[in-house]
Structures are given as structure tokens and as C-alpha cells.
């Protein structure tokens, strides 16, 4: 089926206001300029609709097609496009300079999960009181954090100090977003090969 850029509020059949229309049949052949009633009759005889596809033309261009089927296919494509379009969220994790090893590992595992899901991660080290005199500790902590996540993400720039916080942004690698799907496919292939062996 040919794809036309038909608006969602396209005029069909008796809704068309022009007395004459330029008609294109369902195979894409031009039938010429016809009276509106004759064009509608031809469309009805074929069991199809007369759809206005170019209202601004003189006379308007109409195509004979199954409008219900066209709308269904267009909505299906839009739905698929929305599924494919992955919206990356920005996830934020907060650390302190005196974070314990277990807490650090927990934050790293959260970041790895976020990166695998295709989300960006903003890691914040909060400085309290006199800790501002030793911002290099925050830099070392963020570097250690990034080293734990570097298989799954990359940074655009080194850590930045903003007020009392040091910030590091980690972007997911493009290959990470496909890891989940590949793992599932691998499991399915393994289970299929086991069934075939039986």
C-alpha cells in the first residue's frame, strides 16, 4: 500500500466539499478530474472510500482506498515507532566522602542496572562542612565509581564541582541497550537446543 501523508482528520466520501476532484484509483492510476458524486460512486462500487489527500490543490486530490485499513496500519506503525523510541531518563545517585564499602557497592549495582536499561546516571558527591577543603577525595571517589561502571558507560567530561556537590554524568554505551534482548535470546536458544536434544 502506498503511503500518503493524510491528516488524521481527512475528509472522506460525502464529507468532501468540492464539486469536482482529481481522482487516483486504488492502484495509483489517475482517473482525471471527476464530479464528486461520480467519484464517490466509483469508490462505493469498488467497496472502498474516497479520501481527500491534498485539500489545497485545485481541484482537491482524492484517492480511492480502504480508509479504515489505512488508519489501522498507520496507528500500528505509530505504536511500533513509540516502542522503538527509547526515552533515556536521568537517574541520580548521591554519595558522601565517608561512604562505606557495602553502600558503595550497592550504589554501583544500582548504576549498572540503570546503565543496562539505557538510562543516564548522575553521580553526586555531597561535601559537608570542612570536607570542602578536600574536594580531591570526591574526585577520587567518583573515579573509583566510574571504574566500577566503565564496561557499561562512558563520561563526556571529568567530574565538575557545583556549589557543595561534585557531579559526574555517565552515559550508557549504545551496545548496553541491546544486552537485555540478547540475554533473553540466548536463554531461548539454550532451552530450544535442550529440547531438541531430548
The per-residue pLDDT string of the chain (198 residues; one tens digit each, 9 = 90 and over) reads 444 556 567 788 888 888 888 988 888 888 888 888 888 888 888 888 888 888 788 888 888 888 888 888 888 888 888 877 766 778 899 999 889 999 999 999 999 998 888 888 999 999 998 888 888 998 999 999 999 988 888 887 888 888 889 999 988 887 655 544 444 444 444 444 444 444
CATH fold of 13-82: Ubiquitin-like (UB roll) (3.10.20)
Per-residue pLDDT, 195: 46
Q: Where in the chain is the domain with CATH 3.10.20.80?
A: 13-82
Per-residue pLDDT, 193: 44
19 neighbors 35 (Cβ within 8 angstroms): yes
Give the β-pairing of 153-155 and 61-65. unpaired
Query: For domain 90-177, is the CATH number 2.40.30.10?
Result: no
Per-residue pLDDT, 5: 56
Per-residue pLDDT, 104: 92
Per-residue pLDDT, 188: 46
Q: Where in the chain is the domain with CATH 3.30.110.10?
A: 90-177
Counting Cα atoms < 13 Å in the Cβ hemisphere of 154 gives 5
Per-residue pLDDT, 108: 93
Per-residue pLDDT, 112: 92
Contacts of 94-101 with CB under 8 Å at 24 or more apart are 94/124, 94/125, 94/126, 95/123, 95/124, 95/125, 95/126, 95/141, 95/142, 95/145, 96/125, 96/126, 96/128, 97/125, 97/127, 97/131, 97/134, 97/137, 97/138, 97/141, 99/141
Query: In Å, how far are 44, 61, 65, 172 from 18, measured between CA atoms?
Result: 18, 10, 19, 54
Residue 120, all three cell numbers: 543516564
Per-residue pLDDT, 7: 58
Q: Is the previous residue joined to 93 through a cis bond, with omega within 30 degrees of 0?
A: no
Strand, helix or coil for residue 57: coil
Per-residue pLDDT, 125: 92
Amino acid at each position: 500500500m502506498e503511503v500518503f501523508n493524510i491528516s488524521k482528520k481527512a475528509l472522506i466520501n460525502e464529507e468532501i466539499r468540492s464539486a469536482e476532484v482529481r481522482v487516483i484509483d486504488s492502484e495509483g492510476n489517475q482517473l482525471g478530474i471527476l464530479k464528486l458524486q461520480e467519484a464517490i460512486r466509483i469508490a462505493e462500487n469498488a467497496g472502498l472510500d474516497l479520501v481527500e489527500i491534498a485539500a489545497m490543490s485545485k481541484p482537491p486530490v482524492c484517492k480511492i482506498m480502504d480508509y479504515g485499513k489505512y488508519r489501522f496500519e498507520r496507528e500500528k506503525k505509530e505504536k511500533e515507532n513509540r516502542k522503538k523510541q527509547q526515552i533515556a531518563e536521568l537517574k541520580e545517585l548521591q554519595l558522601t566522602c565517608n561512604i562505606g564499602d557495602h553502600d558503595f557497592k550497592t550504589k554501583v549495582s544500582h548504576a549498572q542496572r540503570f546503565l543496562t536499561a539505557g538510562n543516564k546516571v548522575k553521580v553526586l558527591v555531597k561535601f559537608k562542612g570542612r570536607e570542602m577543603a578536600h574536594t580531591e577525595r570526591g574526585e577520587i571517589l567518583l573515579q573509583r565509581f566510574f571504574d566500577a561502571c566503565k564496561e557499561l558507560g562512558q563520561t563526556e567530561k571529568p567530574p565538575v564541582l557545583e556549589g557543595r556537590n561534585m557531579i559526574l554524568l555517565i552515559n550508557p554505551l549504545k551496545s548496553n541497550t541491546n544486552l537485555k534482548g540478547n540475554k533473553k535470546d540466548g536463554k531461548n536458544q539454550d532451552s530450544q537446543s535442550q529440547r531438541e536434544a531430548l
